[in-house]
Amino acid sequence: MKALGQHVIAELYECDPEMINNHELVETIMLEAADVSGATVVNSTFHQFNPYGVSGCVVISESHFTIHTWPEYGYAAIDVFTCGDLIDNNKALLYMKEKFAAKSISVVEMKRGLLNLPVEQIRVKPVGA
């Protein structure tokens, strides 16, 4: 069965706390990761929490990249959900791991939208979209 999308759940450990608590830097790195993966960015929104932490979403034509950070633990939770076969999620994850100075990463991947249809009937986007 062909899936509509792929959902990657990544956990970055022992990140640089100052980096993952910097709203502008986190947004820049997430936008760059989307670009590195080959995704088409539509929009982004990020929020700085008080006293620390950042959450944000990069909406891409192919779905989204999200992040939630806990600088006090050096931890970042990242979701990359993409549709189609053109986006390189691994490139994006390696880029984020490097840029957030994470010492380790844990990744779980799952297929989304497993439909019981012939492969030729499954389209990632509606015709004309």
Domain residue spans of the chain:
3-120
**What's the CA dihedral at 111, 117, 121, 122 to 10 degrees?**
-10
By annotation, the residues acting in catalysis are 63, 68, 83
pTM of the model: 0.87
- State the Cα torsion 100-103-104-105 to the nearest 10°: 10
Report the C-alpha gap between 14 and 74 in whole angstroms: 5
pLDDT confidence bin for 1, thresholds 50/70/90: low
Mean pLDDT of 47-67: 96
| CATH match for 3-120 among 3.30.365.10, 3.30.230.10, 3.60.90.10, 3.40.80.10 | 3.60.90.10
